[in-house]
Amino acid sequence: MDDFELTEAEALAALETFVREEASADRFSGAVLVAKEGEVLFSKAYGLADREREIPNTLQTRFRIGSMNKMFTAVAILQLLEAGKVDLKAPLGTYLTDYPNRDIAEQVTIHQLLTHTGGTGDIFGPEFFAHREELRTLNDYVELYGERGPEFEPGSQWVYSNYGFILLGAVIETVTGQSYYDYVHEHIYEPVGMTGTGSVPEDHAVPDRAIGYMDPSGGTDWRPNTDTLPYRGTSAGGGYSTVGDFARFADALLNHELLSPDSTELLITGKEEIVPGIEYAYGFVDHRGTDGNGWVGHAGGAQGMNGDLKIYPKSGYVLVALANLDPPAANRVTDFLDLRLPLE
């Protein structure tokens, strides 16, 4: 046992003290859940979902999750692989036959999109904010960014690409004949019982959806992030969920309810090194190391939102923190417990 590692009871007690202090200092507002092998060990909510109306966060609060959506997109692609509808080695143009840039269409494979090695670039920047409210479908993003060529030789390096996961969503729509949103609802959210998860547009009223609060000054001047949000979440991120739904998603993965055991291992096993000891898999980060005791999962963050899911396949622990504040509000919570959980 290292200097930080505690017993399970000690770790959970330390977590409760830490999160309470973070919330009291206005560094955390959100919900936290810890489970092991399907049993919830800790679940609490802190802070306000709506500061103006003084509505508290609860375990049913729906928090925007940023890039955590990428896990759902990757699961969907591997489901289509199992169904024989997608080939990971095939270039994008196999599915998006009229894709504007031929270099991207002919050279970038589905595997490279899943691992951020295709050189497809980002979606955020001046163009996004100039067209933020007009980008309503995945095809709208393709029309805006589809003329761009690869930023580097596909497969030659790892550079995080939100646009790559937009393209994966477009592939899902093409091969299924469904919208991305209908597919993940029907094949992931509904079978798992994720009733609080979705990507309903921001101009629709969604019960229990928290307001995100950002502070450009980095102090305590919290203000709503409304004017920074996309029209709706996409296959790259921006939807919303609850801590309970993420726990159900993690259990379904570990119990092979969404994918076969082989496909699940393909999904979560690292393929591209991000930094020493941490690899990117397919829409998941693999931080298990040589002893397999670590976690797989994905975080998400933008102004006024931060979330993190850590799944420990070997020990069965699942950690979820979702926050309606700027990063690293949720990551601080999961990182704190990660150092202290008894994983052997």
Active site residues per annotation: 67
Q: Which own/partner pairs from 270-275 qualify as long-range (CB within 8 Å, at least 24 positions apart)?
A: 271/115, 272/115, 272/116, 272/117, 272/158, 273/158, 274/158
Residue 151 per-residue DSSP state: S
The helix (run of H) or strand (run of E) holding residue 40 is strand 39-46
Is 116 within 8 Å of 158 (Cβ atoms)? Answer: yes
Backbone angles phi, psi at 320, to 5 degrees: -135, 130
Block residue for tokens 């090695």: 117
Rounded to 10 deg, the angle between the 69-82 and 162-176 helix axes is 40
Is 110 within 8 Å of 88 (Cβ atoms)? Answer: yes
